[in-house]
Amino acid sequence: MAAHTGTVLISEVGPRDGLQALKRTMPTEAKINWIKALAAAGLTEIEVGSFVSPKLLPQMADCAQVVAAAREIPGLTVLALAPNLKGAAAAFDAGVHKVSLPVSVSESHSKANINRTTEQAIAAIADIKALRDGLPDDTPGAKAGIEIGLSTAFGCTIEGPVPEDRVIRMAALAIEMGAEAVGLSDTTGYGNPAQVGRLFRRLIAEIGLDRVGGAHFHNTRGQGLANVIAALEQGVTTFDASQAGLGGCPYAPGATGNLVTEDLVWMLESMGLDTGVDIERLIGAREVLLAGLPGETLYGHVADAGLPLGFEYANQARPAA
């Protein structure tokens, strides 16, 4: 394997992807405290919630309040997910820096997740871009980025294997409709390193590396970190992860377990890649998470084992605390 140097962006998705998978709701103030703790650990991009119907996901009913608080954190890029035009409008009104639109490659998952066909989901991108572009320059969301996450890109628990040609075709269509970046999501934990490397190689050839939004891996079958390595080999430098491995898709049966942020940061730093994240402060943020969700099961090898003796950050000017 080739040696890696440089920087990697970790996009923390726990406050959205993690919390939406839980049956209970984290209090708004606790969410904000957790997001502040994550940012204090050095995470510079956080998906703080989703603008969806509170009837479907009551855990996300306070998303506008959370976005407003997160916008006050210096240097933080605030993301939120929006499944449709109505959600995107609310996200722009709240002042997100980026809106993430989920588009399922699997027709069955698309209908279960957002109650739309994949064709309708792709077409909505143009409407959302038109809405954003029509906002007055002085409104909070006027300059928000529009990113697409291609869900079930590596397989679907409802349909099974997903054709790779379809993934690439949908990525190209998303860009054509006005998306500024497209990432691939292993929503169901089906992906393996060979498949990940092959699909990202094709994606980059199709839309260009500068338009690859990143990689979203679940650790359902223990392949999360291995899949990160495979994506790194193709030049991908943005990865989603969730503190303590919280999360999963409520509309994809068996899709549990996001990639653990703490474990991902340690692996990347150990490889010489600068994430800008202080691992010990990140592990400390788990206590803030537990304060808002008492008794919740948290995952992560690094949090359990601690940092190894002699560990050094990739950026030696940022020593371990």
Tell me whether residue 40 is in a domain: yes
User: Residue 94 is inside which H or E element, if any?
Assistant: helix 85-94
15 lies in some domain: yes
Choice among 88, 184, 230, 249 that is catalytic:
249
- What residue type is assigned to position 62 of the chain? D
Number of structural domains found in the chain: 1
Domain that includes residue 27, residue range: 6-305
Sign of CA dihedral 25, 265, 104, 132: positive
How many CB atoms lie under 10 A from the CB of residue 14?
Answer: 28
Choose among 77, 40, 73, 97: nearest CA to 277: 40
Tell me if 317 is assigned to some domain.
no
What pLDDT was estimated at residue 2?
A: 42
Report in angstroms the alpha-carbon separations of 248 from 16, 23, 174, 252.
Answer: 10, 12, 24, 8
CATH of residue 120's domain is 3.20.20.70
Tokens 């020593």 identify what position?
319
Please choose, from the candidates 98, 105, 72, 223, the residue with its C-alpha nearest in 3D space to the C-alpha of residue 171: 105
C-alpha 104/C-alpha 107 separation (Å) is: 7
Is 99 contained in some domain? yes
Name the phi and psi angles at 240, rounded to 5. Answer: -85, 150
Could you state, in chain order, the average pLDDT of each consecutive group of 10 residues for the chain (321 residues)?
72 95 94 98 98 94 98 98 96 98 84 75 95 94 96 91 95 97 94 98 98 94 95 97 81 64 97 97 98 94 95 76 46
Residue 242: helix, strand or coil by DSSP?
strand
In a domain, 244, yes or no: yes
The DSSP string of 61-75 is TTHHHHHHHHTTSTT
pTM for the complete prediction?
A: 0.94
Phi, psi of 186 (to 5 degrees): -95, 70
Does 318 fall in a domain? no
pLDDT score of 116: 77
- Non-local (6+) Cβ contacts of 125 within 8 A are 101, 103, 146, 148, 174, 177, 178, 179
What pLDDT is recorded for position 317?
60
The answer to whether position 168 is within a domain reads yes
Q: Is 156 a catalytic residue?
A: no
How large is the angle between the packed helices 279-292 and 261-270, nearest 10 degrees?
180
Closest C-alpha to 221, from 254, 184, 270 = 254
Residue 319 within any structural domain of the chain: no
Predicted confidence at residue 61, as pLDDT, reads: 97
d(CA 114, CA 104): 9
Residue 287: how many other CB atoms lie within 10 Å: 11
CA 50/CA 15 separation, integer angstroms: 9
User: Is residue 286 within 8 Å of 243, Cβ to Cβ?
Assistant: yes
